[in-house]
Structures are given as structure tokens and as C-alpha cells.
């Protein structure tokens, strides 16, 4: 069995707390590794290393830092097959999906390599007589990211790429469920020329999170995970004087207008609802067909496609999706299915009890489909985070719009229609942070910003795009005047530019 480590000051460091967590192979159900859970002292050691290393890294010019990111991209490209297999073996997503996880992270690193442009300040010559005003963006110092299990490559890269490009040192606390890929990424950054200590990885649980939140040397914290934890981290970080961007749960709707191509819609829903076993914050989990005719037709098409899905081991090669990440996750989602039945939803496909030959102890759940789900049901209100898709019917467009807008989560939403007026109206009016028009998973490309509204996001600035550089830097504004030789005497009036 593998014994994992922390990565502190440019080296692998064995855990010293005496506490460990098991890392499973979700496809087989077997324990494949142990990961140490950091003590407060271990987190503090990582912060001390980062604080020292940042002084050097932050003094490098932005172009020199960008070259390290470019070298890192070359190394990741060469190591992608290994990274993808490692990711699949610990998370359970298929190999192709794992490569997509890595690629979406790489795209943000590519964007962050343009940091020299994004870090430019503003300049005004002659703002007043003999006075120039300019601003500069400077790194915060030591910043941290607390990232979830469902994207063990993408979200750490989303956090660390802009932070490092801006001249900060970074503490990463990845999920203890699949920590091997983050550790490997740290190795590759070191190989790319990142000075030792600039990037540290500390594995752990709530104890490590609290140590980060209460260390005054950590100036900002980014988080992705469940809403209750996002709220906790956001409020605790703020109470300790830190910046925070925290992203929580989701319940993403797809509005299906009567004029939509239902074959296209059904294919989009199958991929967006069941891909990665539904363990995506941007998964579509609620289909909202408008009108009874469209709803009946969509339910029939989805039922047919669901019956054809192949669920199997992550590295099986022909699986549409793999297992859930842990036995606890499997049991939790199965509990939601039973709750849906108990509350009166119509079960069209039940994924419970699935056994994959040769992998009987894996954490598998077949695709599950509900119809006639109402807005007061638990499976509509709460994030299931599994391969469960529900159909919640709407009588008309306004009702469908209200369902997405009034839900407590506001991460992503999609509308499928041939009507440009309806699409434009929906995009403008829906109370959700990210909108797809005939796009089932509306994750913005790297140079736009990613972030949900309402209980899906806490903080003023979002992930990647220009917002990331705003979040990881502080602005200093300089007002400059050089003596002209004229004696003006003391002035007791507030300065103005005239």
C-alpha cells in the first residue's frame, strides 16, 4: 500500500500527526493508499516555508514567473497519461473524463501565463499641474486553496495558476479522497523552475483547514465544495481579516422549450447529468420541459437512452461513467433516491443495486431518472451529487424561468430552444451566475470568469479570468510630483486636480 506525504519546502515530507485517512480505488472498493492528516504544526511549517520563499518569487519580474508556468505546461503535457490514470484510479471518473479535468486546468495556466499583461497598472500623466498618478498590482503574499475531490487537477490549477503568476506563494489543501494528482502537480512545478517553498501541499481534514484560516500570515483563501462549508470558510476567513472566494453547492436546471430539438436535448442531458457519475458542480440535475407534450416526449427519450448507458470501472475503456468516489457517497445518493420515492416522485429508472461483474465491491450506482418532481421535494431542493436526473415540469416559460431563478442555488443554468428572442430574454432575466444557450454545461472558457450566485458563491470576485488576478493582488496607487523650484508655502486645503 502506498504511503502518501505532504509537499513542503520543495520536498515530500512524511506525516507527523499520527492521523491518516484511507484512499480508495472506487472501481474495486479496495484501499490503495494512506494519506496523512496534517497537524496545526505541519500547516504552520508550510506557511513558514511559503512566507520565506514568496519574498524571492514575488521579486521576480512577471515575465520570468510566466516562463515557469510555460515550462510547467510542457511537463504536464508529457505527463498527462500518467496524471489521468492516477486521477481515475482515485476519483473513479473515466480516463477520457480525467484528461478533460486536466485540460480544463491547463487552460487556466495558459491564461495565467499572460500575467505580465494582467498585472499592468494604470497611469495618468498630468493629472494635475506637475502631478502624475499611477497604480501597481502587488502580490498579497501567502495565499491558500482548499479544493474538492471531484476535480483534483482542474480546481487546484484554477487556484494556484493565477496566484503564482501574480507573485504569491501558495498553500494547497486538496481533498484527502484523491490527493495524489495535486502532489504530482507540485513535483512538476518544482521541476519547471518554481523555487522550493513557493507551492506547498498539506493534506488534511478540518484541522488543517482551521489552521489555514487562523494563521494571520495567510492573506487569502479560495474554496470549492459544499455550501455549508463554503459559508463556514467564508465567514471564518473574513473574521480573521482574509480575503475569501468560496463556491458551494448547485442545482443546475436545463429549460427545454417546446421548439427545442428533443434528440439534441436528450443527448445533452445524458452527458451533462450522468457524466462523471453526476459528481460535478456544473452537472445538470433538473430538466424543466415546458408543456406536457414536450415533457412526455422528453421522458420517453431519456428513459430509452438511460437504459443503454454502460457503467463500469474507471479504466475499463468502454464505460460511460464510473463509480462514485466512496462507499459513503454511494449510500448518501441511494438515500436520496429512496427519499424521492417516499415523497411521491415517479421513478423511471432505478440505479440502486448495480453490480459490475468482476468489480462487485466497487462503488457503483446506475443512472437514475425521476419524473413529476415538484419544487417542494428534497431531490429538487438539495444537491444530490450523483447520477440522478429529475424532470420537473413547467406549464409555461415564465414558470420555468421562475423555477431556476427562485432556487436557493444559482450556479449554472441552460436553455435549449430555437427561438433567439426567448434565449436572449432568458439570459438577461434568469437569476443564475452562468448561463448556457443550447450548451448543457456552461463552464466559461479560461479568460472569462467562473462563479455562481446566491448560495452557490460567497465573495465579490470569481475564479479564473481577470477576476482571479484582482483577487490575488492588492492595488497600490501612487501620486507623484517633482519639485519645480516654485515656493508655494503650506496648504490646508484637500488636494484637487485643477
Q: Check pLDDT > 80 for residue 488.
A: no
What is the chain's mean pLDDT, rounded? Answer: 95
pLDDT at 124: 93
Q: Give the pLDDT of residue 482.
A: 86
What is the tens place of the pLDDT at every residue in 326-343? 999 999 999 999 999 999
Cβ-in-10-Å burial (0-12, 13-18, 19+) of 388 comes to buried
Known catalytic membership, residue 281: yes
* Alpha carbon distance 415, 423 (integer Å): 7
Size (the chain), residues: 498
- The predicted model gives 304-320 an average pLDDT of 95
* pLDDT band per the 50, 70, 90 thresholds, residue 498: low
What's the mean pLDDT in 398-427? Answer: 97
pLDDT tens for 431-454 read: 999 999 999 988 898 899 899 999
**Average pLDDT of 68-95?**
98
- Which of 216, 251, 248 is closest to 233 using CA atoms? 248
Catalytic residue (choose from 281, 283, 299, 422): 281
- What pLDDT, in 10s, does the model give residues 141-192? 999 999 999 999 999 999 999 999 999 999 999 999 999 999 999 999 999 9
Q: How far apart are CA 450 and CA 441, in angstroms?
A: 12
Task: Answer whether residue 490 shows pLDDT above 90.
Answer: no
Place of cell 485643477: 498
Residue 290 DSSP label? B
CATH code 3.40.309.10 region(s) in the chain: 252-437
How much is the pLDDT for 485? 64
Alpha-carbon distance 8 to 31, whole Å?
A: 25
Q: What is the CATH number of domain 252-437?
A: 3.40.309.10
Q: Residue 211: its pLDDT value, please?
A: 98
Which tens digits make up the pLDDT trace of 227-249?
999 999 999 999 999 999 999 99
Provide the pLDDT for residue 483: 77
Q: Residue 393 in contact with residue 295, Cβ under 8 Å?
A: yes
At 317 the pLDDT is: 85
Domain with CATH 3.40.605.10 in the chain: 2-248+456-478
pLDDT at 362: 97
Rounded Cα gap, residues 417 and 413, in angstroms: 13
Least confident residue range of 26-30, 300-304, 464-468: 464-468
- What are the residues whose beta carbons fall under 8 Å from the beta carbon of 151, sequence distance 6 or more? 101, 104, 105, 224, 280
Residue 413 reports pLDDT greater than 90 = yes
Query: Quick one: fold of 2-248+456-478?
Result: Aldehyde Dehydrogenase; Chain A, domain 1 (3.40.605)
pLDDT at 486: 62
Reported as a pLDDT band with limits 50, 70 and 90, residue 111 is very high
pLDDT of residue 489: 72
In which element (H, E) is residue 395 found? none
pLDDT tens digits, residue range 189-216?
999 999 999 999 999 999 999 999 999 9
pLDDT of 487 above 90: no
Question: Above pLDDT 90, what percent of the chain?
Answer: 92
Per-residue pLDDT tens digits for 344-393: 999 999 999 999 999 999 999 999 999 999 999 999 999 999 999 999 99
Amino acid at each position: 500500500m502506498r504511503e502518501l506525504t505532504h509537499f513542503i519546502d520543495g520536498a515530500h515530507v512524511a506525516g507527523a500527526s499520527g492521523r491518516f485517512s484511507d484512499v480508495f480505488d472506487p472501481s474495486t472498493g479496495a484501499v490503495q493508499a494512506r494519506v496523512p492528516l496534517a497537524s496545526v504544526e505541519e500547516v504552520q511549517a508550510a506557511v513558514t516555508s511559503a512566507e520565506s520563499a514568496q519574498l524571492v518569487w514575488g521579486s521576480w519580474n512577471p515575465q520570468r514567473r510566466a516562463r515557469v508556468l510555460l515550462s510547467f505546461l510542457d511537463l504536464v503535457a508529457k505527463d498527462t497519461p500518467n496524471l489521468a490514470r492516477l486521477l481515475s484510479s482515485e476519483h473513479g471518473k473515466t480516463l477520457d473524463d480525467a484528461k478533460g479535468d486536466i485540460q480544463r486546468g491547463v487552460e487556466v495556466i495558459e491564461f495565467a501565463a499572460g500575467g505580465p499583461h494582467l498585472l499592468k497598472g494604470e497611469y495618468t500623466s498630468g493629472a494635475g499641474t506637475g502631478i502624475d498618478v499611477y497604480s501597481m498590482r502587488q502580490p498579497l503574499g501567502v495565499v491558500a486553496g482548499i479544493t474538492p475531490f471531484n476535480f483534483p487537477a482542474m480546481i487546484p490549477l484554477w487556484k494556484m495558476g493565477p496566484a503564482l503568476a501574480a507573485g504569491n506563494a501558495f498553500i494547497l489543501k486538496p481533498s484527502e479522497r484523491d490527493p495524489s494528482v495535486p502532489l504530482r502537480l507540485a513535483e512538476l512545478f518544482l521541476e519547471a523552475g518554481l523555487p522550493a517553498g513557493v507551492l506547498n501541499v498539506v493534506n488534511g481534514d478540518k484541522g488543517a483547514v482551521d489552521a489555514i484560516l487562523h494563521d494571520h500570515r495567510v492573506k487569502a483563501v479560495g474554496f470549492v465544495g459544499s455550501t455549508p462549508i463554503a459559508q463556514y470558510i467564508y465567514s471564518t476567513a473574513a473574521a480573521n481579516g482574509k480575503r475569501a472566494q468560496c463556491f458551494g453547492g448547485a442545482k443546475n436546471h436545463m429549460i427545454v422549450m417546446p421548439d427545442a430539438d428533443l434528440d439534441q436535448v436528450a443527448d445533452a442531458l445524458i452527458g451533462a447529468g450522468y457524466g462523471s457519475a453526476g459528481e460535478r458542480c456544473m452537472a445538470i440535475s433538473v430538466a424543466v420541459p415546458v408543456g406536457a407534450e414536450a415533457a412526455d416526449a422528453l421522458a420517453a427519450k431519456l428513459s430509452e437512452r438511460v437504459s443503454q448507458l454502460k457503467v463500469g470501472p474507471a479504466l475499463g475503456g468502454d464505460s460511460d461513467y464510473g463509480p462514485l468516489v466512496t462507499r459513503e457517497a454511494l449510500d448518501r445518493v441511494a438515500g436520496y433516491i429512496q427519499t424521492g420515492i417516499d415523497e411521491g416522485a415517479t421513478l423511471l429508472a432505478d440505479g440502486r443495486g448495480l453490480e459490475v461483474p468482476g468489480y462487485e465491491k466497487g462503488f457503483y450506482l446506475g443512472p437514475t431518472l425521476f419524473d413529476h418532481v415538484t419544487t417542494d421535494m428534497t431531490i429538487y431542493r438539495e444537491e444530490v451529487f450523483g447520477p440522478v436526473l429529475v424532470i420537473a415540469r413547467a406549464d409555461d416559460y415564465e414558470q420555468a424561468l421562475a423555477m431556476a431563478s427562485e432556487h436557493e442555488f444559482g450556479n449554472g443554468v441552460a436553455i435549449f430552444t430555437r427561438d433567439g428572442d426567448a434565449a436572449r430574454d432568458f439570459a438577461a432575466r434568469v437569476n443564475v451566475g452562468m448561463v448556457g444557450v443550447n450548451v448543457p454545461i456552461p463552464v466559461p472558457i479560461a479568460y472569462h470568469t467562473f462563479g455562481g450566485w446566491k448560495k452557490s458563491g460567497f465573495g465579490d470576485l470569481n475564479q479564473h479570468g481577470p477576476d482571479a488576478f484582482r483577487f490575488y493582488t492588492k492595488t497600490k496607487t501612487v501620486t507623484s510630483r517633482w519639485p519645480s523650484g516654485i515656493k508655494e508655502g503650506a496648504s490646508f486645503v484637500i488636494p484637487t486636480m485643477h
